[in-house]
Structures are given as structure tokens and as C-alpha cells.
Structure 1
């Protein structure tokens, strides 16, 4: 498969780089290890809540003006958790902290949206890069992740959200009322979900507990 192309943000100012890395590191460390939310679910909430987009824009209100605890409160409505996010927490040098820290570095250096990364490489697989890359130069992580992204086909958002919910195509068809064949064709890109009726996308989004936009391909 050919090299994956993506737009690089022209803004190369590193003014907020440390803020981004430290805040995202704490966000994933506290969210997983102290709040008890699964990494995949927290990563999806990071995307669905709009936090990821604000960090891509380097919005100072978010990257410098909000703590990890503030961000977890914003993400909370997008997480199926019985408990509220912690009000106080101590950040630890965990693998999850490293992943948030290095993903912040990667996004600033490459300009690639977080959604594109997490749609291709699941959270747990990224976390598995901790050994041996946590002691390697940051540029090595960029090199390795770029190669991983270029080698993999991009899964549809529909498939990723279905797998995140832990249901089969058959179960999704039953819960949404959308035919199994249509779901299979959307996931295999034989049919373009962007051209599906609003009702079809709405039914799928309701069954998968996500926004309609979250299922469209861009």
C-alpha cells in the first residue's frame, strides 16, 4: 500500500508543546489508572468530546488553560462510567502517561489529526509501543508510527465504533434495524456511508451510542 499522505499544520511554533504533552499524559494516566475507564473508551471520548480537535488547533483555552481533571469532566458524558471523574489525582509515570505525552508530540510534529491515528491503531496497540520506544528519541516514535500508519488500511468509523461497543454486525443489524448486508457493505467500503439516508445513519448512531458525524468518512 502506498504512503499515507496528510496535511502538515503550518504552525510549527512549539510554545504549547510541553503543555500539550503534560496535559494529555495526565489525562490518560488519571482516566485509566484512577478513574478506571478503559483506554479505548477514554480515547474515543477524547475524540467525540471535541477535546482532540481543540488540541489540534492548539487552542490555549484548552492546552494551557485546562487541567487534565478539567478535560476528564468534559469527556465524562461520552464515557459509560458509573462514577464521576476524580476531583483530585496524583499523576504517575505510567505507560498511559507516556502514551498521552508522546501522542501530543506526534500530533504537533506531523499535523496528523488524532482521529486518523486512533482509527488505524487501537489504543492498546499504541500502548504496546511503550517497550522499547519509551526510552528512544521522540523522532523514533514518529518514524515507527508513520510506518505503521502507512502499512495499514484505514478501517471505517462504523467498524471501529461497532468493535468499541463490543457487538457483532448481526447484533448491530438487530439493534439498529439496518440490514446486515448494508452494514457489511458500509464496513467493507462497497457502499459509501456518507451517501446513506439520514435515517440509516441515525439508527446506526443510536445503536452505537455515538454522533452521526462520528460514523461518516472524511
Structure 2
């Protein structure tokens, strides 16, 4: 694996900024490259476990008081692996390390939630930005991702949450019990999800590990 280079720039004004970026970077690096999970699986577990909200609040208990292995153990019931590898020092800086690093920076700079970030782009899409951007300052990623968010602002909440969970429409239909055609119509705005039956919203929210309110369109 190639060496990871990142520019030294002024971090967001927080005593935990560096710790937060580094611990999230290693969560993705270890989860993917040692535990054998996909990046989407680690991202989904990070969101569903509630750790994303703790990082957004910069809770020192989580961003400075726990190691990446500690956080992955918290996420383990939501991951496909049964156990984690033994802790070891990581010297190589992988593309997955970079994803965690720049996303933590982006969240601190913009205040966007991690759920909103992963609703904008899948883990694999973000990881694919490594090669043109990994040697650029973090501010370049912020600018590129902001532009992507603007371009994709028209997507429905259902579509963004489904893609953030790494599910196809068919997979969501199977996981939720909601008909595939209904999901397609909701995402195309040909059917108003705000008028959906409560049971359909409940099933979709359970499958996507979100609240029913997050599915509604404002």
C-alpha cells in the first residue's frame, strides 16, 4: 500500500480535531483492511450505532477517550465479521484511512451530519476521490464535495438514505417488505411518501436504520 500524504493546514478550532480525524481514519482503515468489511458496511455501522452523532458533538469520551478498536467493538454487532483482529500498529496510510480523515474534517468544517454526507455519496464514491485528491489540502475535498452536494440536492430523502445504506431498490424492498414499485415511485416523486401508510414508513425506517421523520420530504 502506498504512503498517504496529506497537507498540513490549520485544523478546525477544536482541541479534539486531530484526535477525531485520526481515530475515524483508523476506524475505516482497520474495518476494511484488517476486519475484511466493505467500506459501506463500516459506514452503515458507524451511523446505525449512534457513534456518528457522538462524533458530531465532538464528545471527548468517544473522540479522544477511546481507540479505533474500542469504537469498532461497539460497532461489531452491526458488522458482518464475528470478531476483530488483534490490535496492531498501522503505518501505511490507505485510501480508507484517507476517507475517514477527510470526512471528519469535512463534518467539522461544514457542520453537516455524517448521515447527510453518506446520503450525498456512497462510501465507494468518496473513496474513488483518493487518487486525485489525497495529496491536496483538505479544503480541496471540501470544495469538491460541496459541489457534489449541490448537484445532488434534488434527490429524495428515501433515495439518499437507501444509497447511504448501500442498498439497491430491490434489496430495500426485500429487507423492508415494501413493494419495489412503491419504492421506485417514492424516489421518482410520482408517489408522495408523506402520504404513505405508517406501516410502510415504519418498515422502511427499520430497514434503513433511520427515523420515519427522516424519510419525509419537507
TM-score range, shorter chain: 0.7 to 0.9
TM-score (normalised: structure 2):
0.81
Q: 2:211 aligned to 198, 210, 213, which one?
A: 213
In 2, Cα distance between equivalents of 1:153 and 1:51: 25
Q: In the alignment, what sits opposite 2:5? A: none
TM-score (normalised: structure 1):
0.81
Q: In the alignment, what sits opposite 2:9? A: none
In 2, Cα distance between equivalents of 1:127 and 1:87: 25
Query: 1:139/1:185 Cα in 2 relative to 1: closer, same or farther (>3 Å)?
Result: same
Query: 1:145/1:174 Cα in 2 relative to 1: closer, same or farther (>3 Å)?
Result: closer
Q: In the alignment, what sits opposite 1:46? A: 46
1:157: Cα distance to partner? 5.0
1:166: Cα distance to partner? 4.8
Query: 1:110/1:200 Cα in 2 relative to 1: closer, same or farther (>3 Å)?
Result: same
Query: 1:107/1:212 Cα in 2 relative to 1: closer, same or farther (>3 Å)?
Result: closer
In 1, Cα distance between equivalents of 2:212 and 2:93: 32
Structure 1 contact 21–104 (Cα < 8 Å) conserved = yes
Q: In the alignment, what sits opposite 1:35? A: 35
Query: 1:193/1:73 Cα in 2 relative to 1: closer, same or farther (>3 Å)?
Result: farther
Q: In the alignment, what sits opposite 2:153? A: 153
2:184 counterpart of 1:184: yes
In 1, Cα distance between equivalents of 2:77 and 2:211: 17
